[in-house]
Structures are given as structure tokens and as C-alpha cells.
Amino acid sequence: MSRDHAVALDAADPLRAYRARFSIPDGVIYLDGNSLGPLPLAAKAAVQTCVEEEWGRGLIRSWNSAGWVDLPARCGERLSSLLGVAAQDVRVVDSTSINLYKLLTAALRLQSGRSTVLTETGNFPTDLYIAEAVTKAGAQQALRRVAFESVAEAIDETVAVVVLSHVHYRTGARHDMEAITRRAHDCGALVLWDLAHSAGAVPLDLAALGVDLAIGCGYKFLNGGPGAPSFLYVAPALQAALHNPIQGWFGHARPFDFDGQYEPATGMDRWQVGTPGVLALRSLEGALSVWEGVSATALATKSAGLFDLLAAWVDGPLANEGFELLTPTDPARRGSQLSLRHAQAWPICQALIHEGVIGDFRQPDILRFGLTPLYLRYVDVWDAGNRLTQIMQSGRWQAPRFHQPQRVT
């Protein structure tokens, strides 16, 4: 594909107008939105309004007058369409790790006759750490880890809960959510999905697939800002049966009664714990407003096109440069990223960043490129492939400055 063809694809792109809703520095090709999304202008405006007007002028009155107290539900409502669930079934609270702990602990208590938590060997570390801690706290519980491709066949009647990342953070490979959820239910198990690399990246229809539980972060494809709060989903049929193991005052049925005895709120409000982080929630609320009117079909179509464009560089001019494509080529089996293995991945990544292409590196030898359709253009991906080719063929990645000790985020 020529650069002119990429420019023509951008001209015909139904999502092309959304790029103007983000603050992207001139001269930067940003391929790291799968780690931290760029700044949406609406998020900047929301935080500015929150600081200067709601906090600066409204002071404590803004808990009511500006609706701060409702932010976890309000953000959940805005997010719900991206997840394929009802607005009342999502809350945005706490971090991904804390929400995983809450839901996994509650699910295990519900599944008291079973002993095993099943997960993937290569799952994201915090998911493994939390799952290990929760199972260690239970007298008869155990954590079992299996390979990515062996998850479905490993589910049996001993499994209480399956904990999986829908899209693998290193490779971008995607689990078959429908098949695994069905298999788990056939065996009497629950499934808890981590959607950190799925929400805002791939079409989701949690309610239609019968998903039990889900969590995910707000700072990757959702663009909510560094450390943006996490979301959690609980299927309506489970909401009354599951209980938050962290009993904080905002999860109380009547928090402002200041009752000395805990009584859980009904529905999803019971999953709140402490006082909401208003600035972070307002930033995420602004970021989520960008998604209004976005077609899931257009998003998936463009994601596939961006992948194919970058993969063509790997298969073509870069074919003899030592790269291994780790991400599945079938769009139904991957998220919205492209991952490459290379023995010199670290200096190559640093050379790309030096030349204005920001991707990221994961130990020990993986380059990751986030393909984020809302603001990324076809011409950006063409230029990124071209610069990577130039860096490799010229040997510029071998410069000593690109081999400095790693400081990775």
C-alpha cells in the first residue's frame, strides 16, 4: 500500500472527525493508547470545570449541586453501551486490582462447595497476584494456572471461578468469551473477565453472552487519564447474592445516616467502598463523552484495517529483520494491538520513540503497538511502518544511547 492510499483511506474514514477531540502533540505518532490513552479535550474541560467552579466556588455543596455523589453511577451509565449491558449494572470505583479482589472474593464465597480458581499462566501479573492472595486466604481453595489455549478444556466441576483477561496484554490474543463462558456455566463455574484491553478496543456484548462478572480500567482505550478509576460489572441475577468483602461507608444502604451497623446497599451501589475520587472520575466522565455516537462496527473495521496496514510492513520490507508477529491475524481472535518479538526490542523501541513513534516494550523482547481507531489515522500507521523500516535497514537502533538501562512504564 502506498502512502497516498493511506491518505485516501483517512479521507473515507467514518471515524475521522474524532481525532480532533484529542490533544495529540504535533509530530508524534501515538501507538501506546493500549497503555495510556491521550488527553481528550472533554476530559481536560471537565477537570478544569471541576477544579475552578465545582470545587473552587461550589466547595462542599458540589457533592449535591454538581452531582459528585453520583459520579460512580453516572460514569457507569456512560460506559454501559461499550460493554453491552444495562446502565444500572456498572459502577466506576476503585482500581482494577481492588475490584478484582472484591468480585473474586465474593464469587468464591458464593461457590463455597468448590475449591479451584482457574486462570491463565500468562495472565496479567496483578490478576495472578490477587487471585493467589484470595485463594491463600481460603482454607480449601487453590489457584490453578493453565496455558492460554488450554483454558476451556481445563474447566470442570471442581472450578469455582475462572479469572481471565479477555485480551492478552502481551500478545493481543483474544479468548473466545462466548465459548468459555458457556463451558464454565455448563460445569457450574462463574467467570470473571478482565476487560482492560477490551473495553473501547473490541465490540462487547456481556449481557447477551451471559457474562457473570467483569472489571477493567479507565486509562487505556477509554482515555480517562493516568490511573483513571476502574469499572466493575455484575450480572443482574447475581447482584443480590454477592456481597462486597470490603464494607466501606459508600457501600452502605444509607451512608449519610452514619449507622454503626453495616447494611449493604441494593444493586451495584454495594460495590462502592470509600469516598469517590472526584477529579479522576470527572476526567473519565469527560473522556467517555467522546464515545457518544461511535459505531462498534466502524471501530472494529478500522481496527482491522490499521492492523493489516502495519502487518504488511512486517511481512514485506521488514520480513528479514528478525521480527516475529505474536498477534493473531484473525480479527476475531485479537484485540486492537499488534505485538512483535525481536531480540533487540528495547533499543528498537527507544529508536522509534526518538523518531516520534511512541509504542512500548514488554519484557523480555516484545514491542507493542496500540491500534486505537478513534484518533489514529491510516497515514500514521503507514508512517510508523516506514520509520521502523528505515531504523532497521539503516542500523540506527544500534546507537549506544538506545541501549541505556531500561526504565519501563
Burial of 246 (0-12, 13-18, 19+ CB in 10 A): middle
CA distance readout (Å), 19 to 83, 157, 373: 22, 48, 9
Reading the block at residue 222, the C-alpha cell is 477509554
124 assigned to active site:
yes
32, 127, 194, 360: the catalytic one is 194
220, 282, 302, 334: the catalytic one is 220
219, 250, 361, 402: the catalytic one is 219
Give the span between the Cα atoms of 267 and 254, in whole angstroms: 13
368 assigned to active site:
yes
CB atoms within 10 A of CB 404: 10
22, 30, 124, 361: the catalytic one is 124
396 assigned to active site:
no
220 assigned to active site:
yes
Burial of 56 (0-12, 13-18, 19+ CB in 10 A): exposed
368, 375, 380, 402: the catalytic one is 368
Question: What is the gyration radius of the CA atoms in the chain, in angstroms?
Answer: 22
Residues classed as catalytic? 124, 194, 219-220, 368
